[in-house]
Structure 1
Amino acid sequence: MATAEIITIGTELLLGEIVNTNSQYLAKSLNDQGFDVFRVTTVGDNVSRIADILKEASLRSDLVITTGGLGPTIDDPTREAAALACGVPTVFHEELWAQIVQRFAQLNRTPSENNKRQAYLPQNATAIENQVGTAPAFFLHTGGTLLCCLPGVPSEMRFIFEKEIIPIINHEIPTHAVLITIILHTIGIGESSIDQLIGDLEKMQNPTIGLAAHMGRVDIRISAKADTEKNAHKMMQPILFQIKQKLEPFIYGYNGESIEDAVIQQLSENHVVLNYQNSEQAPFLAGIVSEIQTKLENKIGKNQYNNKKLHELILTTSILELDQKKTLLVTLEQAGKKTSQEYNFLNDTSAFEEWVINRTLGTIFSYLKRKG
């Protein structure tokens, strides 16, 4: 598989002054193009440090993409750093300067003398016109590596990447690879417990397995690369089978499916309606339960929903706080039989409501799945 690295340039990124959305966008986009993204690096506006990183990256990756540092000021050093890394001088491009002047005119602005810095590129580099901004991009080859340098403004970077860079890399580095990703959603089991059960699978290189913990639930990401979508899915099947064997009771959905959808499905299959008795204690949860009740009624029809043969599942919740520790008690009652689950909240309070919702719905889902 072809390999890629992303280098985001800007001291403001290291200071935490802005969110680095460029690396996230490029990482996903390059994976979609069939590349293995091995590294994402952020470096400040320093010519020698940028040049060193570019040299290292070009020795180990087929494609290196940088963002930022292409403006007109002294602290926009990407052009000089790329030239230094490739061992070539920068060269003034008259036609590129003409494009910059024209672009400024379209914006009813006049370029200053320092804007001429943007018309200097490393020798043998190919300029890429910026149709949505004033900072031109460029690409060049160094050894066996394709180096593409893009503006740091996210909207400009994305436009140039999609319109110009993707065709270039498809021509220069045809990957012939397709990436397929499936997300399995689990609830009622912790990340460490999942790791113990499928840790051997997480060591695989292709497909790759990764875990992502959320408030009260854990996602399992399975990604496979192959020459065709059919073959990628074929690679996934034995892995999916093994994961389902070990975690089936805890899996509530795939990809875009929500825990709410899973609860509705279980209520429907078990011919059960949900009644939240003390909903005034947690209005945010009551709203979710109300939506579930409405969607269930729409799913099975009003007459069947109101049919007395349907079994009622009574939900009560209790939220206790003692010594800054919050505890959630979820009680389910059906046909006079009660079952309760207690959970302790140890995270940031801003995520408490999401945690309560997931824990409560997870308890309902697990209860109904066991009965079904």
Structure 2
Amino acid sequence: MKTAILSVGTELLFGQITNTNTVYLSNKLNMLGYDVMYHYTVGDNPERVFDMINLAFEDCDLVLTTGGLGPTQDDLTKEVACEVMGDELVLDDDAMEELVSYFKNLGREMTENNKKQAILPSRAKVFYNDAGTAPGFALEKDGKYIICMPGPPREMTRMFEKSVMPFLESMSDDVIYYRMIRAFGIGESQLETELMDLIDDQTDPTLATYAKEGECSLRIASKKKSRHEAKEAVDRMLETVIERIGDYIYSCDDEELVEVVCQKLMKKGLTLSSAESCTGGMFAAAVTDIPGISRVFQRGLVTYSNEAKMDELGVRAETLDEFGAVSEETAVEMAEGLKRVSGSDICISVTGIAGPDGGSREKPVGLVYIGFIYGDKKLCKKVLMRDVNRKWNRHYTLLSMLDMINKNI
């Protein structure tokens, strides 16, 4: 079904708020098999909202809106949608009860304008809001549907997952099953090249590649009459994909690389410590975002200066003088020193040039060395990134550190 997403809110046009709703909805709708054809953004103006909804319906059968359902005078999406769909607004007793209960639980008096949120289109399928006050709804006319949801991302995502997604799934006779494959160390163009014949000949399952900062994703999706049939089709295709690019795949379930690594460490009971220079603690911060990691992560040291490398890790002054802070020799001594200090099963170190300054012809911006010790393994990996910017270089370095652990334990 051709679909459009309409974001309502003048603050979006002013750039005061990042529109994360559209990204979220596009991803979810595509996974459900709905073809997102257009993104629209319009301010809190009823005439323009009216025009945008009608414009979207010229080429689409489904329009999803976010925003403009609140209690204030400029919240007019509901009223406009009702007009477009030829319906009338009536008081919804259940919605009113939800509102009264919400404010009572907060211990606050409900102002008169809040009652507006309980007035909804008479034919609407109502989606009650358990994360806020504004209900959403779905409304149909002549085979075309509009679904209106609140603008705050926390409310919208909760409503979509709890109510809107099951509603959309019920509108389709077919079942869609998909897997998201995550890969590191291969670019999107190379990924597509490796799978080109599968992509060119695809009917069902379908394959789609996506680029993310420093990594790639591949969606394999199938639409069948039953979930069992769709899953079988996806699993057969996945086997072929793994044969082609298995060395780069780190997850077949849309997990982040840091999740995969941390779960593997916890499952195996392997302790971990890190010593960081150019990443300045990013590795330790990423790892400690994972619940339960305290069972295995022992310490994270930021040894940014040469003095810190010597004092905290015992890196020799001679090594720094002869080879420099950014070198294989220094990275290895950092890992060795960390092993002495922590006694962790796995010790990983990093030193590099994040930029934008500090590079030279011999050692350009984007050059990184990663030291690694685990059991009898003592490795050092050289990574030379293209000079994008400091933030990207540090992020890619973090992924490279995680990838080194993932492939060597």
Regarding TM over 0.5, the answer is yes
Q: Counterparts of 1:28-67 in structure 2 under 5 Å?
A: 28-30=27-29, 35-67=34-66
Over 3 Å counting, the alpha-carbon distance change for 1:142 and 1:58 in structure 2 is farther
In 2, the alpha carbon distance for the partners of 1:92 and 1:340 equals 65
Q: Judge conservation of contact 1:207–1:225 (CA < 8 Å) in 2.
A: no
Residue from 188, 193, 199 that aligns with 1:191: 188
Deviation of 1:33 after TM superposition, in Å, equals: 5.1
In 1, the alpha carbon distance for the partners of 2:187 and 2:264 equals 23
Q: Judge conservation of contact 2:117–2:135 (CA < 8 Å) in 1.
A: no
Q: Deviation string for 1:265-304 (max 9, x for gaps)?
A: 89xxxxxx9999x957567489699x9xx69xxxxxxxxx
Quote the residue 1:108 is aligned against.
109
Quote the residue 1:244 is aligned against.
242
Q: Deviation string for 1:6-40 (max 9, x for gaps)?
A: 32211112222223343344445545655444444
Residue from 312, 319, 328 that aligns with 2:352: 319
* Paired letter, 1:153: P
Residue from 400, 403, 406 that aligns with 1:359: 400
User: Structure 1 residue 231 and structure 2 residue 229: aligned?
Assistant: yes
Q: Judge conservation of contact 2:182–2:252 (CA < 8 Å) in 1.
A: yes
Over 3 Å counting, the alpha-carbon distance change for 1:196 and 1:336 in structure 2 is closer
Partner of 2:216, secondary structure, is: strand
Deviation of 1:111 after TM superposition, in Å, equals: 0.5
Quote the residue 1:77 is aligned against.
76
In 2, the alpha carbon distance for the partners of 1:159 and 1:318 equals 42
Q: Counterparts of 1:227-306 in structure 2 under 5 Å?
A: 227-255=225-253, 256=255, 258=257, 279=275, 281=277, 284=281
In 2, the alpha carbon distance for the partners of 1:38 and 1:28 equals 12
Partner of 2:44, secondary structure, is: coil
Quote the residue 2:217 is aligned against.
219
Q: Deviation string for 1:127-164 (max 9, x for gaps)?
A: 73756555454433222112222332345445554565
Over 3 Å counting, the alpha-carbon distance change for 1:26 and 1:226 in structure 2 is same
Deviation of 1:175 after TM superposition, in Å, equals: 3.7
Residue from 376, 381, 388 that aligns with 1:347: 388
Highest RCO, 1 vs 2 (Cα 8 Å, sep ≥ 6): 1
* Paired letter, 1:329: Y
* Greater Cα shift, 156-165 or 343-352: 156-165
Identity, % of aligned pairs? 25
In 2, the alpha carbon distance for the partners of 1:365 and 1:139 equals 45
* Greater Cα shift, 21-30 or 38-47: 21-30
Q: Judge conservation of contact 2:192–2:209 (CA < 8 Å) in 1.
A: no
Deviation of 1:181 after TM superposition, in Å, equals: 1.9
Q: Judge conservation of contact 2:208–2:219 (CA < 8 Å) in 1.
A: yes
Quote the residue 2:328 is aligned against.
none
In 2, the alpha carbon distance for the partners of 1:274 and 1:116 equals 56
In 1, the alpha carbon distance for the partners of 2:20 and 2:109 equals 29
Quote the residue 1:12 is aligned against.
11
Q: Judge conservation of contact 1:208–1:223 (CA < 8 Å) in 2.
A: yes
Q: Deviation string for 1:33-83 (max 9, x for gaps)?
A: 554444443222233332233223334444322122223444323234324
Over 3 Å counting, the alpha-carbon distance change for 1:219 and 1:98 in structure 2 is closer
Over 3 Å counting, the alpha-carbon distance change for 1:261 and 1:92 in structure 2 is closer
Over 3 Å counting, the alpha-carbon distance change for 1:245 and 1:155 in structure 2 is closer
Over 3 Å counting, the alpha-carbon distance change for 1:35 and 1:175 in structure 2 is farther
Q: Deviation string for 1:315-348 (max 9, x for gaps)?
A: 8754243168241134789999987634135234
Partner of 1:109, secondary structure, is: coil
In 2, the alpha carbon distance for the partners of 1:151 and 1:275 equals 43
Q: Judge conservation of contact 1:181–1:224 (CA < 8 Å) in 2.
A: no
Over 3 Å counting, the alpha-carbon distance change for 1:16 and 1:228 in structure 2 is farther
